[in-house]
Amino acid sequence: MLNKLRNFSKSRLSSVLVFIIIIPFVMWGMGGVFNSGNTNILAKINNENVSTEELIDYINSIGLDLSSLKEKIDDNVFEETLAQVISKKMLEMEISSLNLEISDESLVNKIKKNKNFLDDSNQFSRIKYEKFLLENNMSAVSFEKKLKEKELQKKVFYYIGGGIKSPNFLVKKDFTENNKKIVVDYVNLESNYKKDFTEIDIKKFIDNNKESLEREYIDFSYAVLKPEDLTSSNEFSDLFFEKIDEIENLILNGSNIISIKNTYNLNLTKKINFIDNEIENSLENEIYAKRNENNIQLLDKNDYYLLFEVKKIEKKIPTLENEKFKKEILNNLILEEKYEFNKNLLTKIQNNKFNRIDFLKLAKDENKINEIKINSIRDNNFFNIDSVKILYTIPLNNFLIMTDDNQNIYISMVKKFEIQNMSSDNEVYSNYLKNSNLILVNNLYTAYDSYLSRKYEVKIYNNNLEKVKNYFK
């Protein structure tokens, strides 16, 4: 349950940088929770405590109301919120250790340049500023404190990743590789797979897989109960439902289906040695799905009631006269054949024992070799995207087994590369460069996050957290 909390440091630090809206609410009767001593400590970061009061204050600050807390209490809302408090406190400790500061002058300038506080002539308006504070139930002191915290947090991130930029030549090389066009020859392998299997093949498969092929066969009786079956009318009358209640009581008192049948003169249908069939939505299949030996059940089906009792369940292998079972065996044999064929083919490719001549043999006819142009590493218009990504890693004239989204399997050969010459003023390339820089900075944040998790030892007091949670239940 507390896994997320234990691993809170794995979340991005940037998640701490959220705009905080103050929506206070009152926590009545929390005196018993706010005990002094260790019972009030929810977590410890090195030698710094995280108290119950800090958690509640944070809950207030992000506007989580009491009803939301109660609704989400089983969805780890307290664990996740505590993780945020710990992350925030850890960041504050890091700010202190780095001796980062924001001058009062800098803070004033930030406020004066805030577009929310500017008048029509783009000048700072004290009236707008004070109106904002009133509307958000904040004092100037509390707002400026929050702003200072936010700016210091930004400083940390600038300290880590500010000015970081991917080298243009590396980005260009990466872009060129991922956006080159690849001309591919490919052959659908479907015609190379064995699909005709003898009775001997089938029986051999069954002998080798006896345990996994066993199915449950059942003996049962059932009756469909409509108003006309229990009353003299076809209407869903009070009398009909009284009869249904009587049957339910008989079931609860241990009656079997035969005694109920005799009491109400029901028409029973018996099934012996039954296994689910291919007829969808059949009553028999529904009974099979709900099978439970020596158990009588009454199901409300809206238009009628279904009464049934399973008397026997026996495990055995179906005969080949069962078309569904035979089809299942054949499908398994085909899949097994495909797997072995593809595995052997892949081994040949990996050992450089597969060449163009072998490729032509698989095609059987040169006219059955198809050609396709893949425009980028993101082009999944034909092949599965994972296959395309692998394709972009192999050299010219090399082979690869690929799939499409319909699970068709192909053998392909890289025939030709077409390199795009992209200049730095190209919009597509510029966006790619920006994204590369973003990935680099995020990687730095992740590394820094990992560093913080090692630098600051976090201990969670689970019992105290449960105490807080129980108060809100």
What is the DSSP track for 78-113? HHHHHHHHHHHHHHHHHHHHTT----HHHHHHHHHH
User: How far is the C-alpha of 283 from the C-alpha of 280, rounded, in Å?
Assistant: 9
Its CATH class, for the domain covering 215-316, is alpha beta
pTM of the predicted model as reported, rounded to 2 decimal places? 0.49
Tokens of 290: 């709900």
Selection from 119, 143, 146, 123 nearest residue 132 by Cα: 143
Asked whether the beta carbons of 212 and 297 are under 8 A apart, the reply is no
Tokens of 466: 């449960």
What pLDDT is attached to residue 343? 95
Selection from 62, 77, 73, 76 nearest residue 25 by Cα: 62
Q: What is the DSSP secondary structure assignment for residue 295, as one 8-state letter?
A: E
Burial of 86 (0-12, 13-18, 19+ CB in 10 A): buried
What pLDDT is attached to residue 19? 28
| Parallel/antiparallel/unpaired status of strands 215-225 and 370-374 | unpaired
Asked whether the beta carbons of 220 and 269 are under 8 A apart, the reply is no
What pLDDT is attached to residue 239? 94
**Domain covering 3-161+449-472: architecture:** Orthogonal Bundle (1.10)
Buried b (16+ CB within 10 A) or exposed e, 377-410: bebbebbbeebbeebbeeeeeebbbbeeeeeebb
Q: Beta partners for 185?
A: 371, 413
Q: What is the CA radius of gyration of the chain?
A: 35
Selection from 188, 184, 160, 252 nearest residue 398 by Cα: 184
Selection from 235, 228, 229 nearest residue 260 by Cα: 229
Buried b (16+ CB within 10 A) or exposed e, 353-371: ebeeeebeebbeeeeeeee
Q: In this structure, what is the dihedral angle of CA atoms 16, 21, 27, 32, given to the nearest 10 degrees? A: 20
Can you give the pLDDT of all 473 residues of the chain as single tens digits?
233 343 433 343 333 333 222 223 333 333 344 444 566 899 999 988 999 888 888 888 777 777 777 777 777 888 888 888 888 888 888 888 888 888 888 888 989 998 989 988 889 999 999 998 898 888 888 888 888 888 888 888 777 776 666 677 767 777 777 888 999 999 999 989 998 999 899 999 999 999 889 999 999 999 999 999 999 898 999 999 999 999 999 999 999 999 999 999 999 999 999 987 656 668 898 899 899 877 899 999 989 999 999 999 999 998 888 888 899 999 999 999 999 999 999 999 999 999 999 999 999 888 889 999 999 888 999 999 999 999 999 999 999 999 998 889 999 999 999 887 666 666 777 777 777 777 777 777 778 878 887 888 889 888 888 888 887 77
- Taking each helix axis from N to C end, the angle separating 238-252 and 257-264, rounded to the nearest 10 degrees, works out to 150
User: How far is the C-alpha of 138 from the C-alpha of 146, rounded, in Å?
Assistant: 10
